[in-house]
Amino acid sequence: MKTAFVRFYEELNYFLPKEKKKVRFEHNFKGSPSVKDMIESLGVPHCEVDLILVNGTSVDFKYLVKDKDNISVYPVFESLDIKKVQHLRAEPLRLPKFILDVHLGALAKYLRMFGIDSLYRNNFSDKELIKISLEERRTILTRDISLLKNGNVMRGYFVRNIIPEEQAKEIIIRFDLRRKIKKFSRCLECNSNLIEIEKEKIINQLPPKVRAVQNKFYICEKCNKLFWQGSHFNNMNVMADKILSGLKIICS
């Protein structure tokens, strides 16, 4: 039996049992496992890791762990440039876009409400999520840890919170999106961009009450759904401002 000394940093501790959080601990192992396999055997998805130091030297996921190795594992740095140190995945996305699993439909609508590119369908398979993530360079958001341990996943994040409003705050903070927010610039139904349209061009599509009191309209460039600032918009705007005000409290 061999022994490695392991320490996980910052939010990676979320995945660890209490006795292993924020401390260096001994981990016994047999053979010569890759550091990726060892990290995931301890419960941490590889796609949440961006830097591994073994005995003070940066290594990649293929490194074979040796007896008495001292291993430090750091999380993904989305808002910090660490190009001078080895990355374990593609470089951070400066304009992040996401694809969400089937359990995060409410979060998808909140992110779209803030103008954040968030692809969602309520019947995505894991295979489809990974394929689209790789093709479109989207970060997978999920509550399924096993999905993030799939070796083909390059970008992924385990959503810690279970309440949609808190999930939205979590993603905005984690991916440093505060300055990228553009409220109500994206279609809540299909995720495409909204463009302003003249009332005269769509007047025959409007309910009589809307036609009488509203003058500013937006249309989805893909699904052609119409939007205006009615009571539903006002309710959503109150919720959006509540979430954003919560960010100021958390970040202060």
* pLDDT at position 93: 56
Local structure of 62: helix, strand or coil: coil
Closest to 133 (Cα-Cα) out of 148, 153, 113, 115: 153
Domain segments of the chain as ranges? 2-75, 98-180
d(CA 64, CA 2) in angstroms, rounded, equals 13
- Sequence-distant (≥ 6) Cβ neighbours of residue 119 within 8 angstroms: 97, 98, 99, 100, 108, 132, 136, 138, 191
Length of the chain: 252
* pLDDT at position 79: 47
| Pair of tokens at residue 100 | 């969400």
DSSP structure string for 106-161: HHHHHHHHTT--EEE-TT--HHHHHHHHHHHTPEEEES-HHHHTSTT-SSEEE---
Query: Which CATH architecture does the domain made up of 98-180 adopt?
Result: 3-Layer(aba) Sandwich (3.40)
| Pair of tokens at residue 211 | 């036609």
φ and ψ of 129, to 5 deg: -55, -45
* pLDDT at position 250: 64
pLDDT tens by residue, 126-142: 999 999 999 999 999 99
* pLDDT at position 232: 86
Strands 156-158, 139-142: parallel, antiparallel or unpaired by DSSP?
A: parallel
- pLDDT profile of the chain (252 residues), mean per 10: 96 96 97 97 95 95 97 76 57 77 96 97 96 96 96 94 96 91 95 96 93 94 93 91 82 50
Share of the chain above pLDDT 70, in %: 91
Residue 104: exposed, middle, or buried by beta-carbon count in 10 A (0-12, 13-18, 19+)? buried
Provide the terminal-to-terminal Cα distance of the chain, rounded to the nearest Å.
Answer: 48
Domain 2-75 has CATH 3.30.830.10: no
The answer to whether the pTM exceeds 0.75 is yes
CA–CA distances in Å: residue 230 to residues 103, 128, 209, 242: 29, 36, 11, 19
Question: Same CATH fold, 98-180 and 2-75?
Answer: no
* pLDDT at position 252: 46
Neighbouring C-beta atoms of residue 159, cutoff 10 Å: 21
d(CA 82, CA 85) in angstroms, rounded, equals 6
Q: How are the residues of the chain apportioned to helix, strand and coil, as percentages rounded to the nearest 5? A: 35, 20, 40
| Pair of tokens at residue 250 | 């958390």
Burial 192-211 (b: 16+ CB within 10 A, else e): bebeebeeeeeeeeeeeeee
pLDDT tens by residue, 28-84: 999 999 999 999 999 999 999 999 999 999 999 999 999 999 999 999 764 445 555
